[in-house]
Amino acid sequence: MGEHNITVNALAPGFFPSKMTKGSLERMGVEAMCAGVPLHRLGDDEDLKGAALLFASDAGKHITGQILAVDGGVSAV
């Protein structure tokens, strides 16, 4: 799609609190879920918004064909 000046990218979120993950958080606890995360915290809406903004703005106009992990560093461990 580059010839049409269209970039194609994807966000790959890690573990984020949501309706789907509520049970896991209640069962295991936030501290246990964060134990293996290099940033020692769960992601939040702002983390995803910032990554989406990068791809949607002029700041990301030369980025295409990429998958951006938004997982606090889990995929790098």
Check: CB of residue 56 under 8 Å from CB of residue 3: no
**Residue 67 lies in domain:** 2-76
pLDDT at residue 1, as a whole number: 81
**By C-alpha distance, which of 4, 18, 25 is closest to 48?**
18
State the pTM of this model.
0.83
Q: What is the pLDDT of residues 29-70, one digit of tens each?
A: 999 999 999 999 999 989 999 999 999 999 999 999 999 999
Considering its fold, how many domains does the chain have in total? 1
The DSSP code for 12 is E
